[in-house]
Amino acid sequence: MLARTIFTADHDEFRKNVRRFLDEECVPHHARWEEQQHVDRDIWRRAGELGFLCLTVPEEYGGMGGDRLFSTVLMEEQSYAGVTGPGFSVHSDIVANYILNFGTEEQKRTWLPKMASGEAIGAIAMTEPGTGSDLQAVKTRAERDGDDYVINGNKIFITNGYLADIVVVVAKTGNSGSGSKDISLILVENGRPGFTKAAPLKKVGMKAQDTCELFFENVRVPRSNLLGGVEGQGFPQLMKELGWERLIIAILSIASAQAALNWTVDYTRTRKVFGKSVAEYQNTRFKLADLKAKIAVTQVFVDRCLELVLEHQLSPEAAATAKLTASELVCHVVDECVQLHGGYGYMLEYPIARAFIDNRASRIYGGTNEIMKELIARTL
């Protein structure tokens, strides 16, 4: 409806390469990945080989050195293709960012090249069984013992957790009683004694994206694993990155909404009822027109937020607004589109049915939408 002006010719060429990779090397395997509840590790190495990981990480650390619009392209194309399995955005745009923006030089040189190549898969462990959006209330503790930290606790709903080689763990390192001042981020490598992973959780949707529970029982790591080398900086570090993380959800949501609309337009044009296509009925045309208009308006807001990201000016309330509106919209769109598919909309062989169950979580993770409303309300 309105031409998107945020992308350059380089972004467009990158989009073609990403689309080819997803169509040829991910889509054919996605059903199997959903059955096993995680993707093959080989796809991570392949993505690294093609330069699709850690896109914003500087070249000196093995990345592409691009802007966040390259990440946006990858996220959008995953949504258009219905490829929810590989948690590339968590790995590249969340975990790698924490290490790049807050890590010591040694931490950067140790992990970023491996993450960019796909040799090491990254996860971030925030949520606990009794603590979701309230990060200050985490129970996991990291106690200093000489030159080490000893970590105890458990985390749940961790994307990439099952395959993870490096995990950024949110833990309490202080005893001041002020949650925000006691939190630190600590790197924990897979294979540390006492660090165990449960089997992938059986989710309603996004079944190919491995999500599991992590357990830390007297896990000993050197103090050099403290992200940035200074205790008590975890909460400010989390807050600095949460805006981008919430915009990621908005990007994925609006792209998924557009994909759902495209699939439904195609379906209603070919499906016939009482001698004419479903698309010929006024009810169908009006519903699709309403969805197209809402998607177009929300896309403009998300694109403006992306411009602000590039200018390092994205506000927390704008990020919360983008996440809130886009995630609410995608759930509305896929519901309407399932209805227009009729009985076939409830069959998992159709992408609209998978989108219906895959996108519901967007209103929960990254901070529930109720929390987003609270953040926005504080600015009134």
The residues assigned a catalytic role are: 245
Other beta carbons within 10 Å of 8: 11
Contact by Cβ (8 Å): 45, 88: no
Contact by Cβ (8 Å): 138, 172: yes
Contact by Cβ (8 Å): 241, 97: yes
Distant-in-sequence, close-in-space partners of 105: CB < 8 Å, separation ≥ 6: none
CA angle 26, 31, 33 (to 5 degrees): 70
φ, ψ for residue 312 (rounded to 5)? 60, 40
Contact by Cβ (8 Å): 211, 159: yes
Name residue, tokens 């975990």: 95
**Alpha-carbon span 124 to 111, nearest angstrom:** 14
Name residue, tokens 């002006």: 5
- DSSP codes joined into one string, 107-163: HHHHHHHHHHHTSS-EEEE--BTTBSS-GGG---EEEEETTEEEEEEEEEEEETTTT
**Alpha-carbon span 56 to 44, nearest angstrom:** 17
Contact by Cβ (8 Å): 48, 118: yes
Kind and range of the H or E run holding 196: strand 195-197
- DSSP codes joined into one string, 199-233: PPP--SS-TTS-EEEEEEEEEEEEGGGBGGG-TT-
End-to-end CA distance of the chain: 32
Other beta carbons within 10 Å of 295: 21
Contact by Cβ (8 Å): 122, 165: yes
**Alpha-carbon span 85 to 322, nearest angstrom:** 23
